[in-house]
Structure 1
Amino acid sequence: MLEVKFDAQQLESIINAAVDRALERHSLANSLPPILNRTQFMELLDIGPTKAAELFNREDFPVMREMGHPRVLTHLLLQWCERHTDWTEKNAGDGWKKRGGVAS
């Protein structure tokens, strides 16, 4: 059996490098427009008009209507998704909870 040993600093460096590469490749926030219209929103979440209307009418959903038609600020949508994901609450560490459940 192969055994590999790393000290804490080496392991942290390896993990950080892998995470940085993954974020660069898969960063939604950098590839999305800052404001989504209804069609873009539905395409992004792969939902139909009924579910979009349901979300847009929720009091806690970050929709703005000042531009004539509903729009969603992308960064607020991503934060809202994080706050409303059961997995995050159950599995996120203390750092998440100390920030009040808000993405940094």
Structure 2
Amino acid sequence: MEFDYEKLADVLAPKLIDGLQEIVDRQLENQEIPYMLTIDQLMKFLHIKRWKASELLGRSDFPVLREAGVLIPREELFEWIDRNLDWVKENTSYIKAV
């Protein structure tokens, strides 16, 4: 009798993804990630230094509100990360830390 690892992976992958999504949702509900991030919170969240954060904030496509200082909306940040995953992988250690 042979064990089919691919079949096991096909069964487990959706369950793992659902479990990870629940963890992220719970963190958001508990406000572990604030609704609006400051530059220092962004640096901590993405595991980047100030010069890299400044580069990021200077991008025209990066979601930042400057009317009340420098604030980054959490949901828009997550959408930006999804759209720019290559930049995030190359310039931060966020993917490794998650």
Deviations 1:46-99 (A, max 9, x none): 1111111111111111011011x211001111110110124xxxxxxxxxxxxx
Match of 1:85 in 2: 85
TM-score (ref. length: structure 2): 0.65
Please tell me the root mean square deviation across aligned C-alpha atoms, in Å: 2.6
Q: Write out the 4+ residue segments of structure 1 that deviate beyond 6 Å after TM superposition.
A: none
TM-score (ref. length: structure 1): 0.62
Structure of larger gyration radius:
1
SS of 2:21's partner is: helix
Match of 1:22 in 2: 20
Deviations 1:9-29 (A, max 9, x none): xx77x654443222222x176
Give the aligned residue type for 2:44: E
What percentage of aligned pairs have identical amino acids?
Answer: 31
C-alpha distance in 2 between matches for 1:22 and 1:62 = 25
SS of 1:64's partner is: coil
Structure 2 vs 1, CA of residues 3 and 36 (structure 1 numbering), >3 Å: closer, same or farther?
A: same
1:3 CA drift (Å): 5.0
Structure 1, 15-24 or 40-49: larger mean CA deviation: 15-24
